[in-house]
């Protein structure tokens, strides 16, 4: 691949590694391109931010293709993951330690399936306190990590499907397909609430963004090889 091709615009599908931010991936590729092609500047951007504890499909554009990235924002997203019932964390995932607990002895496998089905459809979802939403110019996760109180407002989203794949208490394997703006961490919390209990996300992998699929994505290492003269 040439620098002219990258500047003209190219879309890359990347499998984001665990504990990397979406910006970490962009920054890694950006630095590599500038060094490999000995250029001072080239545009790179991404769409569909993934949390550090999530893995999977991330769409990255170079050069003129960065202008088209907004078109990807309205595409549905699909995920597979695991949540834990009977406990919660401030971040609603494993970034923070458990701080609330409830017994799951009264929860049946059938009730988990019923609760998941009840969460499908259009709804207003409350984003997690640890999120990229801005409050007074600061990201909520930045405020939350310093112990400051964050305020979130419900957002209209749609859960097209929320399917339970396996129940092994207290863990539940699931797949979900949803609209833009959906937080799967919030969906894990909401399943807990629907069961009059607690819930948080322990594992998440994005498998689709519209017609783009994880099976076609490159690892970061593979992308670095492609992005070389």
Decide if 95 contacts 203 (C-beta within 8 A). no
Q: What is the structure's pLDDT at 138?
A: 64
Q: pLDDT band for position 188 (50/70/90)?
A: very high
Classify domain 77-209 by CATH architecture. 2-Layer Sandwich (3.30)
- Exactly one of 15, 51, 93, 190 is catalytic; which is it? 51
Average pLDDT, integer, range 54-61: 97
Q: Work out the percent of the chain whose per-residue pLDDT is above 70.
A: 90
Decide if 170 contacts 85 (C-beta within 8 A). yes
Active site residue 51: yes
**Single pTM value for the model:** 0.91
Decide if 179 contacts 90 (C-beta within 8 A). no
Q: Give 218's DSSP letter.
A: B
Considering the chain, tell me which residue range(s) the CATH 3.30.2350.10 domain(s) occupy.
3-74+212-226, 77-209
Q: Is the pLDDT of residue 124 over 70?
A: yes
Q: If one looks up domain 3-74+212-226 in CATH, what number appears? A: 3.30.2350.10
Q: Is the pLDDT of residue 132 over 70?
A: no
Average pLDDT, integer, range 62-77: 93
Q: What is the structure's pLDDT at 229?
A: 84
Closest CA to 183 of 113, 106, 92: 92
């Amino acid at each position: 691949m040439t620098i002219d091709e990258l500047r003209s615009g190219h879309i890359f599908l990347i499998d984001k590694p665990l504990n990397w931010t979406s910006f970490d991936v962009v920054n890694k590729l950006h630095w590599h391109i500038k060094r490999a092609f000995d250029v001072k500047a080239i545009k790179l951007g991404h769409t569909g931010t993934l949390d550090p504890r999530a893995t999977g499909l991330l769409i990255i554009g170079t050069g003129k293709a960065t202008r088209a990235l907004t078109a990807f924002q309205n595409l549905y997203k699909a995920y597979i993951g695991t949540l834990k019932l009977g406990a919660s964390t401030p971040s609603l995932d494993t970034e923070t330690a458990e701080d609330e607990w409830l017994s799951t002895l009264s929860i049946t496998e059938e009730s988990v399936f019923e609760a998941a089905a009840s969460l499908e459809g259009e709804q207003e979802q409350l984003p997690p306190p640890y999120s990229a939403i801005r409050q007074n110019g600061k990201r909520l996760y930045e405020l939350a990590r310093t112990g400051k109180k964050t305020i979130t407002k419900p957002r209209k989203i749609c859960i097209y499907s929320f399917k339970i794949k396996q129940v092994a208490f207290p863990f539940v394997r699931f797949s979900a397909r949803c609209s833009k703006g959906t937080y799967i961490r919030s969906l894990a919390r909401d399943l807990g609430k629907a069961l009059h209990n607690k819930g948080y996300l322990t594992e998440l992998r994005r498998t689709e963004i519209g017609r783009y699929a994880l099976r076609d994505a490159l690892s970061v290492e593979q992308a670095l090889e492609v992005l070389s003269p």
